[in-house]
Amino acid sequence: MLPSTELYTVLTRNYAATESWYATTPFLLWRRSSHNYIDLILKKHEEQLAAQAKGIDYTKLITYKGWPFAAFVQKLAELLGRKGGTSAFSTDELETLKKLHDKHSDITEPTLVKAFEEAEIKNIAHVAHQLQNLKKE
């Protein structure tokens, strides 16, 4: 048996259309390997995944991010009777709503609805005031 790691040159006879001549052509003669390369690649891939997974903080991924700002604005526009969702508000109003949303990061839809229902005048300022009162409770 030939070792699998060595290259061997095999003398082959090549025939041209009109004449015959000899040429040396390199061939790889490989012995069937006893290793399973697919298992080796899979093992290496699993090791890479394990190394990457060590750096991921899964508890951070699961933590609740709160109610999204776009959904908050859309619900408030619906409660105020404005059509168009986010586009129903001016730039100044959106800045105010963003500050309000950031300040009350734990706000939920039922809380917003309750604050809106308890507001004397149905506008952003009174809803913000009611959210402040509900947060104190």
* Single pTM value for the model: 0.53
Give domain status of residue 64, yes or no. no
pLDDT of residue 18: 44
Instruction: Give the pLDDT confidence score for residue 31 in this predicted structure.
Output: 58
In a domain, 86, yes or no: yes
Domain for residue 132, yes or no?
A: yes
- Which one has a higher pLDDT value, 137 or 72? 72
Q: What's the pLDDT score for residue 67?
A: 86
Structural domain count of the chain: 1
pLDDT tens digit string along 31-72? 566 667 888 899 999 988 887 777 766 676 666 678 888 999
Q: Name the E strands within the chain.
A: 8-15, 20-27
In this structure, is residue 49 part of a structural domain? no
Is 18 within a domain?
A: no
Q: What is the mean pLDDT of the chain?
A: 77
Question: Would residue 33 count as lying in a domain?
Answer: no
Residue 85 has a pLDDT of 83
Q: What percent of the chain has pLDDT over 90?
A: 35
CA dihedral 63, 69, 73, 74 (to 10 degrees): -70
**Of 2-6, 41-45, 77-81, 119-123, the least confident:** 2-6
4: CB partners within 8 A, 6+ apart: 30, 31, 33
Any domain includes 94: yes
Domain residues for the domain of 122 are 69-136
- Tell me, yes or no, whether 131 lies in a domain: yes
What average pLDDT does range 88-103 have in this prediction? 91
